């Protein structure tokens, strides 16, 4: 898996297509379209989704710790085991620790956490960096 999103790969394909000149394309057989697009299909399939979950760095570090310990998602989401910083991100409105999240917002935070957990890849909120977990063996 690369760090490219599907949108990046599509943009590269579009640029390559726009740069093609018909006289440069040899048509050896009836499968020429498949022959031209096959490498792009492989690159596109390996690309990351465009809508990666975005989480704070400390939440990502917590996911890495819990995954390394072979914990379950349910265990990682259990409030009494969550570090304070992660707890605050999960349960409080960003920037206002005195305001509790509504149930809907809490569920959204859980969903974002779970998507990052399951995909094993996310974008760091503070830096935009893409973090990928090592594949489990």
Instruction: Give the mean pLDDT of 45-58.
Output: 89
- The length of the chain is 137
Q: Hey, which of 4-8, 23-27, 28-32, 58-62 has the most confident mean pLDDT?
A: 58-62
Strands 54-55 and 121-124: parallel
Q: Which of 136, 1, 121 is nearest to 54 (CA)?
A: 121
- In the chain, where are the structural domains located? 6-46, 54-132
Note the pLDDT of residue 48. 85
Say which residues have a Cβ less than 8 Å from residue 42's Cβ, sequence separation at least 6: none
Percent of the chain whose pLDDT exceeds 90: 34
Q: Which two tokens stand for residue 127?
A: 């830096």
- Distance, in Å, from the CA atom of 129 to the CA atom of 125, rounded to the nearest integer, reads 8
Q: Would you say the pTM of this structure is higher than 0.75? A: no
Q: Give all strands (DSSP E) within the chain, no chain letters.
A: 54-55, 92-93, 96-100, 121-124, 130-132
pLDDT tens digits for range 10-43: 888 777 776 665 445 555 555 555 555 556 667 7
- Distance, in Å, from the CA atom of 89 to the CA atom of 47, rounded to the nearest integer, reads 29
Q: Is 105 left (phi over 0), alpha (psi -120 to 50) or beta?
A: alpha
């Amino acid at each position: 898996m690369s760090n490219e999103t599907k949108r990046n790969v599509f943009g590269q394909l579009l640029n390559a297509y726009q740069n093609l000149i018909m006289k440069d394309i040899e048509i050896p057989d009836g499968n020429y379209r498949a022959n031209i697009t096959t490498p792009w299909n492989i690159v596109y399939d390996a690309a990351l989704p465009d809508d990666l979950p975005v989480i704070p760095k400390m939440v990502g570090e917590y996911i890495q710790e819990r995954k390394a310990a072979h914990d379950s998602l349910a265990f990682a989401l259990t409030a009494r085991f969550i570090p304070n910083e992660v707890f605050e991100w999960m349960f409080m409105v960003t920037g206002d620790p005195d305001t509790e999240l509504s149930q809907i917002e809490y569920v959204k935070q859980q969903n974002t956490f779970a998507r990052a957990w399951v995909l094993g890849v996310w974008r760091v909120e503070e830096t935009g960096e893409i973090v990928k977990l090592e594949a489990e063996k």
